[in-house]
A and B are shown apart, each in its own frame.
Chain A
Amino acid sequence: MKTLMPYPTVVGDIDVTIEKVALDGRDLPYSMISRNERVVALHEVERAEWEEARIALRVSLPEREIEAGPWTDVVCVAILTEGATNARLARPLRKRTDGAWVGSVPVSRTLHRTRASLTVSVVGTVGGVAGRVIGAADAAWVIDLTARAPERKKELNIVEIDFAASDEEWLIKLKESPWLVDTSGEMPTVYLNTGFEGLAPLLNGARSEMEKSARGLVASQIAGDAWTAMFHAAVSDLEIGDDGTPQVPSGWRESVLRQMLPDVIPGASLADALLEVHERRTDGQGWSALQTYIHHAAAKRARIPKYVRTAVRALDRAEDSER
């Protein structure tokens, strides 16, 4: 446990293994469970209409430490939560004769929408107080209801669409744009306008050196736009904690902030940088000065310097060969 508690807590490893996942009673292929990434992908093409998944898990605790320690009435609980649906479900696990704690957690389609998080806590009586949290598994498992493969990182959707022929009215209005970035949804999306003449062939089929360098320039420009938009979206949605400081968000927002803040506010810890950015944004002091650094951080992630240099060199060579 990372937080310091006013009572003794368990130091040893608390290890969670997902043993089996069943969708409406039918076992999910093991390939849908990634132990390394701690992700279960519940989306199966053949069974889009599933109602309930059941996740069987096994937890091993540092048994000797627990037996020797000052804790009594030790129990182990699995907790499944999802922020978007305010869902929280706690299931007690039972101790097997071999010492492992086992049990299962139901994931109902009615209670979950995109990604649920499964954690395990160890609870016991310490110093006469019952129900103390004395340990927790290091990291949560992600139960992804939309993924076809158990991968943790999913930060950006790319949609290739002809804006002018789209069903979405706002896209039709913006049909002159080669690309757009939308950060208002659950996942940021880059819309590439296939109706923008020449864009799709350039991005997908560049062959000559000049074409390739032009593709690099355009692609890095798109990526830069996306990083900037995602950064702005992430800092404008910050939740403020009880102590008045901004909380590190979850999902892609967390990932974007973790990657960009070191370049935006160099040398500061994540929490300090977040507070600094949040304060500058809300009171307006120094917010415009910060734009330069946000731009720099986005360009760096999008590798714009690299692609510009490559393009310049390609141009030079083309000119040399013409002489």
Chain B
Amino acid sequence: MNRTPPALPEVLALLPTTAATQHLTRGVLTGQEDPPRVALQRASKPIGASAARWHTAPVRELVEEAMRRFADARTRADAWLAPRLHATLRMTRAEAADPELWNFMSLVVAPDYVVWRHTGAVTSTTSRPTAPADRFVGVAHKHAFARLWWAAEMFRDGEDYRSAEFACGNQDVLHTALRLNAIDHRPTALALLQVLANLAARKVSHLGDHVNALASEINIVRSTLMYDVIAPVEPPDTDAVLEWIAEAETAPPVPLNSLPDGPRDGRVPKTSVDALVKIFEKVHEESPHLRRRAATVDNAGAGVSLAKPGI
């Protein structure tokens, strides 16, 4: 990859999945080849009205900074990048639900990041390790960039990204909790994180196991308890979101060493989070699920690690 690739397009565009998949060759997945930028751009559709928020340069800078900062610990890039990506690519959920935007991000704007972040360990000497295709073109909770944007969106508390940063610092939250329908209810998402923070403060071992157990407990209990009634929350203030998006025109680049501010679309009432934390902690303590899992992990011997580097 030492020849200069064609220039990065200035604005984001929408890349249809069919066209994206076609160029997902083995060479691209291993990082040996660059995706054909010119062909991909030709296959893309314009994103609509021109706006600063769709500029590629700020995103590109972030991605490069992430690769520099976390060269030795790439999983840790998630917690750093998620809130900053969210505050740079300002958009509504309806816009973020378009897979074509994410296809363009991964194949045209930053394929090098996808390979850097998601290429698995070398397993054999003959074949080169590849990044899984669904990190380039895939569902939101798998896609290299969509998962970070959505994690920031689902786990932030109004303008406060601290909870999202904490969530993305745990790979199991990103793996398991992000695909849980239950977290669509904001107090549930924050209560889940609070329970984990409490467990982490007690220095429990195998925190990842707790995440997985909690996720299934929350799901099971949800079939008989209506969290929305136990822990009410106002709908998000959509005007505040639109205002925050409009501010992207004049906003400076996001800070690299402190957290940016998200949209002021309303905080989740603490009473609601507390009510759910109480329920989740009780269920979790009584969970046979966890005991069984903990037992299997212990029996499996010292070779088992719950950290999943590179996945």
Contact = CB atoms under 8 A, between A and B. Distances in A.
15 contacts: A88-B185, A90-B228, A90-B229, A92-B229, A110-B93, A110-B94, A110-B238, A113-B93, A129-B225, A131-B230, A133-B224, A169-B43, A170-B43, A184-B21, A242-B215
Interface stretch (A77-85, A147-155, A255-263, A315-323): A77-85
B219 A111 contact: no
Interface string B76-113: 00000000000000001110111000000000000000
B250 interface: no
Interface string A58-94: 0000000000000000010101010111111111100
A115 B292 CA distance: 40
Contacts of B225: 129, 131-133
A111 B93 contact: yes
Q: Which residue, of B45, B94, B181, has the highest number of chain A Cβ atoms within 10 A?
A: B94
Nearest to A73: B229
A202 to B, nearest CB: 26
B238 A111 contact: yes
* Majority SS at the chain B contact face: helix
Interface in B225-277: 225-230, 232, 235-236, 238, 241-242
Interface stretch (B11-19, B63-71, B295-303): B11-19
Interface in B199-229: 215-216, 219, 223-229
**10 interchain residue pairs of minimum CB distance:** A90-B228, A88-B184, A110-B92, A131-B230, A184-B17, A85-B93, A84-B97, A169-B43, A123-B226, A113-B94
B289 to A, nearest CB: 10
Given A132-B225, A184-B17, A112 B94 contact: yes
Q: Which residue, of A79, A123, A131, A132, has the highest number of chain B Cβ atoms within 10 A?
A: A131
Interface of B: 16-19, 21-22, 39, 42-43, 45, 92-94, 96-98, 150, 153-154, 179, 181, 183-185, 215-216, 219, 223-230, 232, 235-236, 238, 241-242
A129 B229 CA distance: 12
Contacts of B232: 90, 92
Given A123-B229, A132-B224, A111 B19 contact: no
A86 B184 contact: yes
Nearest to A239: B179
A85 B94 contact: yes
Contact of A85 (B17, B19, B97, B179): B97
Given A81-B184, A88-B185, A133 B223 contact: yes
Contact of B228 (A77, A168, A242): A77
Contacts of B153: 86
Nearest to A108: B238
B39 to A, nearest CB: 6
Contacts of B219: 242
A5 B39 contact: no
Interface string A210-242: 000000000000000000000000000001001
Interface of A: 3, 5-7, 52, 75, 77, 79, 81, 83-92, 106, 108-113, 121, 123, 129-133, 167-170, 182, 184-185, 239, 242
A138 to B, nearest CB: 17
Contacts of A108: 235, 238
Contacts of A6: 224
B296 to A, nearest CB: 15
Nearest to A85: B93
A169 to B, nearest CB: 4
Nearest to A110: B92
Nearest to A242: B216
A187 to B, nearest CB: 12
Nearest to A241: B219
Contacts of A121: 226
A3 B223 CA distance: 9
Given A86-B150, A87-B184, A77 B21 contact: no
Contacts of A83: 181
Contacts of B18: 170, 182, 184-185
A111 B184 contact: no
Contacts of B98: 113
A112 B96 CA distance: 10
Contact of B93 (A86, A123, A129, A185): A86
A36 B232 CA distance: 32
Nearest to A84: B97
Q: Which residue, of A6, A90, A91, A121, has the highest number of chain B Cβ atoms within 10 A?
A: A90
